A and B are shown apart, each in its own frame.
Chain A
Amino acid sequence: MDLLEYQGKQLFARHGLRVSSGEAVDSVDDAVAVAERVGYPVVVKAQVLIGGRGKAGGVKLAANADEAREHATNILGMDIKGHTVRTLWIEHASDIASEYYASVLLDRSAKAPLVMFSTEGGVDIEEVAEKTPEKLIRHHVDALAGLTREEALTIARDGGVDADVVEGVADALVALYEVWLQEDATLAEINPLIVTPEREVRALDAKVSLDGNALYRHEENSGLSDPENEDPIERRAKENGVQYVALDGDIGIMGNGAGLVMSTLDVVSLAGGAPANFLDAGGGSDAAKVEQAIGLILSNPRVKAVLINIFGGITRCDEVANGLIGAFHALSPSVPFVVRLDGTNDVAGRELLEQAGLAGVHTAGTMNEAAEKVVALAGGAG
């Protein structure tokens, strides 16, 4: 679960990492009121889950109330790469002496936490990593011991920070590690981590990703998701416990198990079709769940044909067939379906479908055959 900047900063502050004083607002009047309170100059920052806000005009400096009002008016409602700005973060503008980069994440291949640090912050850190890898410190942490202050001091010194802020940077790294650990984050990143002329170390931005599987032990974080910015069908899917990702094509896809569904998308593409969505109905799909899933697929007006690809392990094919029959009666779809049922109770499932005699429902024996049929029904390759 990705957090907006201001939400990440709230978590930072909770663990003693310094951030500038500011507030999140969702109206122009509130933006000006906060600006007055924190004192000019202020920065007006769009809160969206996408990079490149600054280049898109979503981050502006305001020297007085008129400018704050103007920028807030322009940025609220702005579209940044498909994300509508609904919230602004207003903070007192910082004077900057140095810009660093710091992050903590789970390194899957090392099976350990990884702390990264660079004095080349405030820029495209991927470019720094590629062109001048010696300027990016990568330090693996013993997952059971955690990041010690000694290690953090070494990272700061080796990173080449000014001697008078070694301690401040080390404190920030330890606090960032605590954010990552205590909040069950998979990523906690600051770019830039600044040093002010008064030699204070402060996080000017925040990118935090929380592990959705661990939310049960962080009740205080459960309100941090951002349903406003989600695809409406994806949001409905989540509420129904189904995994749905919107895609650009016109062939609706449903399957069970993420791997099989990904494979189904590939096979449909190879057959010349374009999938409209990824939908994993999960294990143990009962009739009600299948009906909901089909409803989700059909709520996308671009869908011209639907492929249902089930290999029954826990999922029973007769239940899928019942769900499909129920969905047809409830939704009376106007697009053709291709159904491939294989695995547990597949014969019973196919018999149920045949007995129901549903118009526009075609069956297929293999995944490849099913893909070719659905591409033809959707209007052929193209």
Chain B
Amino acid sequence: MSVLVDENTRLAVAGITGREGTFHTLNNRAYGTNVVGGVTPGKGGQDVDGIPVFNSWQEAAQSSAPNTAMIFVPPRFAADSILEAAAAGVELIIAITEGIPAHDELRVYNTLARDYPKTRLVGPNCPGILSPGKANVGIIPAAFFSAGNVGVVSRSGTLTYQIGNELAKAEVGCSTIVGIGGDPVPGSSFIDIVALFEADPQTELIVLSGEIGGSAEEEAADYIAEHVSKPVVAYIAGFTAPPGKQMGHAGAIVSGSAGTAAAKAEALEARGVRVGRTPTETASIAVELLGA
């Protein structure tokens, strides 16, 4: 097994007719992902290399029955596209779009929670989800990952590829790689994805790749201590990042000392999660734990 995307995925893509949208959609299809449609208002009836394009998510849902949506539209249209996909009944929405206003993300998150509680949003500003050998939804370069039993969840794109590549060199494969994105209000948190890996029989070990800012890693540490039986290895980027230009004091009051790489590593280690100091060390800890 794997989580979120696999051979049962039926993908439709908002923004399929854009340059990047077309390129990555066809890449995903070439990998074996079942792409059943695309959505671009005003371009319904056209096709992208044989993939039918619809004017709306409602039309796409009626004609092609997608169970997964990928959002590739420009930032100013992304919030509405996500909500439209949810209203059309799509229960997994993966938003690649970068640069969505924070207030839009807040509105989307709270609207989904209130009106479409079954819908899961991953991203925005994320590289997508890859289940090696089964399906790839997004922009993760699949060549650097092989199928196996490590679940990877990460806030950063390129860092995920780096860690996946280190694992592959050690001949360790992945069940699923999930990019949750680094935006202020992500649809899915570390906790949401770690819970899926805990329940997935194929996943034997979880790699969590975080970075400075916010408190998602600290919250994940508490959750792991209480609810996760599988070994978790973490990596945190940004130990040497200078403190940002903090504006006012309100942010500091909310997060306290949380948010620095040191505080995150400490929180994770205090709850039994081993933290690698480099991507290489993180991969080698994972290899060591799997071999034991």
Chain A residues proximal to chain B, CB less than 8 Å: 2, 49-51, 103, 105-109, 111-114, 116, 124-126, 129, 136, 142-144, 181, 184, 186-187, 189, 191, 207, 209, 211, 213-214, 216-217, 245, 247, 255-260, 262-263, 265-270, 275, 278, 283, 311-314, 342-344, 366-368
Whether a CB of chain A sits under 8 angstroms from the CB of B110 is yes
Task: List the B side residues contacting A103 at CB < 8 Å.
Answer: 248, 250
- Whether B248 lies near A114 (C-beta < 8 A) is no
Task: List the B side residues contacting A267 at CB < 8 Å.
Answer: 278
Whether a CB of chain A sits under 8 angstroms from the CB of B144 is yes
Task: List the B side residues contacting A125 at CB < 8 Å.
Answer: 249, 253
Other A-B contacts than A211-B102, A314-B139, A343-B161, 15 sampled, CB-CB below 8 A, are A2-B245, A103-B248, A105-B250, A125-B249, A126-B252, A186-B102, A191-B248, A211-B101, A258-B182, A259-B211, A262-B212, A268-B240, A283-B157, A366-B280, A367-B278
- Whether A108 lies near B185 (C-beta < 8 A) is yes
Q: Give the interface centre of B249, B250, B277 by most chain A CB atoms within 10 Å.
A: B250
Q: 19 A-B Cβ contacts within 8 A? A: A108-B185, A111-B110, A111-B185, A116-B250, A184-B101, A187-B250, A189-B248, A213-B99, A257-B158, A259-B155, A260-B162, A262-B238, A263-B159, A263-B162, A263-B237, A266-B240, A343-B165, A366-B280, A367-B280
- A230–B240 Cα distance when bound, in Å, is 22
Task: List the B side residues contacting A258 at CB < 8 Å.
Answer: 156, 182, 211
Given known A-B contacts A109-B215, A116-B250, A49 and B245 have beta carbons under 8 A apart: yes
- Whether A126 lies near B253 (C-beta < 8 A) is yes
Task: List the B side residues contacting A124 at CB < 8 Å.
Answer: 249
- Whether B279 lies near A263 (C-beta < 8 A) is yes
Task: List the A side residues contacting B231 at CB < 8 Å.
Answer: none
CB proximity of A104 to chain B, nearest CB, Å: 8
- Whether B102 lies near A311 (C-beta < 8 A) is no
- Whether A209 lies near B248 (C-beta < 8 A) is yes
- Whether A259 lies near B182 (C-beta < 8 A) is yes
- A344–B248 Cα distance when bound, in Å, is 42
Task: List the A side residues contacting B214 at CB < 8 Å.
Answer: 108-109
- A236–B157 Cα distance when bound, in Å, is 25
Q: Give the interface centre of A106, A113, A367 by most chain B CB atoms within 10 Å.
A: A106
- Whether A260 lies near B158 (C-beta < 8 A) is yes
- Whether A108 lies near B215 (C-beta < 8 A) is yes
- Whether A144 lies near B107 (C-beta < 8 A) is yes
- A213–B185 Cα distance when bound, in Å, is 14
Complex: chain A residue closest to B252, CB-CB: A126
User: Top 5 A-B pairs ranked by shortest CB distance?
Assistant: A259-B156, A257-B158, A259-B159, A214-B101, A207-B248
- A107–B27 Cα distance when bound, in Å, is 37
